[in-house]
Chain A
Amino acid sequence: MARMNMIQAIRDALDVKLGDDDNVVVFGEDAGYFGGVFRATQGLQEKYGKSRVFDTPISELGIIGAAVGMGAYGLRPVPEIQFADYILPAYDQIASEAARLRYRSSGEFSSPITIRAPCGGGIFGGQTHSQSPEALFTHVAGLKTVIPSNPYDAKGLLIAAIEDDDPVIYLEPKRLYNGPFDGHHDRPGTPWSDHDDGEVPQGHYTVPLGKASIIRPGEAVTVLAYGTMVHVAKTAVLESGIDAEIIDLRTLLPLDEETIEASVKKTGRCVIVHEATKTSGFGGELIALVQELCFHYLESPLERVTGWDTPYPHAQEWDYFPGPERVVKALQKVMQP
């Protein structure tokens, strides 16, 4: 088994699907000849030709609108939006078109599209290269939303997303591209090559959509996280010494309610961690769900650790970012008798 970083794992997934399905096409801004600003499509145009992997105009609505038309034809498009922050011009084509086409045509037409977009902060990207817009998509019926946290899942989930017959928003936490990020920006990072989750099998495999992963079993409290925050939560659990069960949701919609329910019923406590802003964020949905499913098992009020309700700042990035200290505080708070 080879060790890969997340970019290599994503590229490998695209390579597998371009190789085994002639209907898969990959395109986006700078995604063709150059291979993408994060290099996720590097070498693919050379290998599969310009009609399968190509550059597009800077028009997100055009990119996704074209993908909807291609999907209606019978292709399986995998468009790249250069940064998730840029996806809003395509929102109509995603939320009103790709998500609704199956419904409004009784399945006569569908949108088997996987939209890849790097998300999240921690790279000094400021307001327009750091956001986590997952809740804009989980609120839309007809879409699936996926956020991997490591190279193994990234490849397996991406292959599963491409093979899925419904539109999938596939958000890539860009701070995790090169290595797991423990949340301490002032300490040296670990590359994926030094990490077990960097082990990525060759060839085809899938990680099913809609299945969470318990990445650390524990008895005291359940931590629900996804993307970059999985690793921040790990650090916080280590530093707090609290025996927390960390669940990496991996797919936000459809959500693995069974795994969440079983864990919170066992621990009786729950902390939810995401990088996106708090109000109307996905954490609010998780809190509502946990109290619906587990109210009588709860020992303490639920806690949310999130980005502040401000645009993502530039110079104050690490004051904004919900780092390990804030997660530790939340863990301690829910553990109070």
Chain B
Amino acid sequence: MTEHKPLSLQVPEPSSRPGDKPDFSFIDVPVAGSTRRPEVDCAADSMRDLAFDLITVLDDDGKAVGPWVMDLDDNLLLKGLRVMEKTRVFDTRMQMAQRQGKTSIYVQCKGEEAIACAQRLALEKGDMCFPTYRQQGLLIAQDFPIVDMMCQIFSNSRDKLGGRSLPFFYSERDYGFFSISGNLGTQFMQAVGWAMASAIKGDTRIASGWIGDGASAEGDFHAALVFASVYKPPVVLNVVNNQWAISSFQGIAGGQAANFACRGHGFNIPSLRVDGNDFLAVYSASSWAIERARRNLGPTLIEWVTYRAGAHSTSDDPTKYRPADELESWPMGDPIERLKTHLISKGIWDEERHAVLKQELKDEVKTAAKEAESYGTLGKGPAPGTGEMFEHVYKEMPAHLRKQRQQAGV
């Protein structure tokens, strides 16, 4: 009879924990510009290497190099810098507002600004994004009125959603921003459904689905890939791998066993792995995937490699589970700094102008916050009516709900 050793369960551990020296040696950052760029209509199985490489355009000196360089208008680049910085200033202000008790919770996207901002700038009006709660850049990149965002964050009398939704769970159809859900992953499958509808109707608009490394473990992610591979609808499938899902590192979602990009291979979906802190790489890879979708060539899966520079939310303290100084060791730097360096090296920007821009944005955000606060903050000042609670459950309020509303005294 064969002797068997006792089995043991293998639970992945991150490379470093609080007190350890941060270690990102598991991320191999290739020389910028070294990853090839195939034509968008190449067969998926001819570009499998792209899921294991890393598409980067900006080198250490801020020069744009390699086959993914696009000839972009200076104004677009300056806008990219502005909306990323605005997103960060906005987040900082709202983070502070939460600490001051003006809202219940806030989620910032610090360190990940390039991904949402650049992709939105590459999309066209009418295209629909199905975001998670960390893609506020999709709105800010379109110069969406930030007062309206704040009114929702403060659940005040001007909250378009009538106080029914969590703060920052925006819904902006006219800005191609699908209503955010707190049930992680659901929107990924819905993005595929929206894209199928666009194809069914012979439309030209495309969808963009968003999910995090953590939520990619949900069935919705896998269902989305199946449907995307079967019907080949016009959709860009974005996995934002920011290394952390609250306290669980990406290995708990299977990222140590295989990266997130290569999950597309089992479905023969073209899959890219991209430096998510490189605005130019994000814009270029997004444009490639968008063109594929627009030309009816089907879906593209993109893993954006980035780092969640802040806490998961205002309710979270990351120093409890990861080294406090991990960010400084992150090999891909900061997206705003990197684009700024590039623009300076191009001779179209400088530190002085940047300082002025930053101050302008701070003033703009502060003014907006003051205005939003004048319409109330959570539990203080003007607020949505109690009756709002009963609205929009159904298109027409059914009798039983009307009765309950009366019982509630509204």
Contacts and interface: CB of A to CB of B under 8 A. Distances in A.
B386 to A, nearest CB: 15
Interface in A68-100: 68-70, 72-75, 89, 92-93, 96-97, 100
Interface string A248-281: 0000011101000000000000000000000000
A104 B165 contact: yes
A183 interface: no
B365 interface: no
A166 B398 CA distance: 12
Q: Which of A56, A62, A69, A110 has the most CB of B within 10 A?
A: A69
A223 interface: no
A70 B201 CA distance: 11
Interface residues of A, number: 44
Interface string A44-61: 000000011000110101
Contacts of A70: 193-194, 196-197, 200
B179 A109 contact: yes
B186 A104 contact: no
Given A59-B223, A62-B226, A165 B395 contact: yes
Nearest to B188: A65
B195 interface: yes
Given A69-B189, A69-B194, A107 B392 contact: yes
A160 interface: no
Given A62-B189, A62-B223, A109-B171, A104 B181 contact: yes
Contacts of B162: 106
A228 B237 CA distance: 44
Contacts of B223: 57, 59, 61-62, 65
A80 B58 CA distance: 49
B5 interface: no
B194 A73 contact: yes
A101 interface: yes
Contacts of A65: 186, 189-190, 192-193, 220, 223-224
Contacts of A100: 181
B399 A141 contact: no
Contact of A166 (B197, B391, B395): B395
B356 to A, nearest CB: 37
Contacts, number: 141
B130 A69 contact: yes
A147 to B, nearest CB: 17
Interface string B367-410: 00000000000000000000000011111001110000000000
A97 to B, nearest CB: 5
Nearest to A109: B179
Interface in B204-261: 207, 219-220, 223-224, 226-227, 230
B194 A96 contact: no
A65 B178 CA distance: 14
A69 B206 CA distance: 12
Q: Which of B128, B191, B194 is the most central at the interface, judged by chain A CB atoms within 10 Å of its CB?
A: B194
B393 to A, nearest CB: 5
A69 B197 contact: yes
Contact of B193 (A69, A103, A104, A110): A69
Contacts of A52: 200
Given A101-B179, A109-B178, A109-B179, A69 B395 contact: no
A302 B268 CA distance: 60
Interface of A: 25, 51-52, 56-57, 59, 61-62, 65-70, 72-75, 89, 92-93, 96-97, 100-110, 141-142, 144, 165-166, 210, 253-255, 257
Closest 10 CB pairs of A and B: A69-B193, A65-B189, A66-B193, A62-B223, A73-B197, A69-B190, A105-B171, A69-B194, A105-B179, A254-B398
Interface of B: 128, 130, 160-162, 164-165, 169, 171-173, 178-181, 183, 186, 189-201, 207, 219-220, 223-224, 226-227, 230, 391-395, 398-400
13 contacts: A57-B223, A59-B223, A59-B227, A62-B226, A65-B192, A72-B190, A73-B198, A104-B169, A104-B179, A105-B161, A106-B161, A109-B179, A254-B399
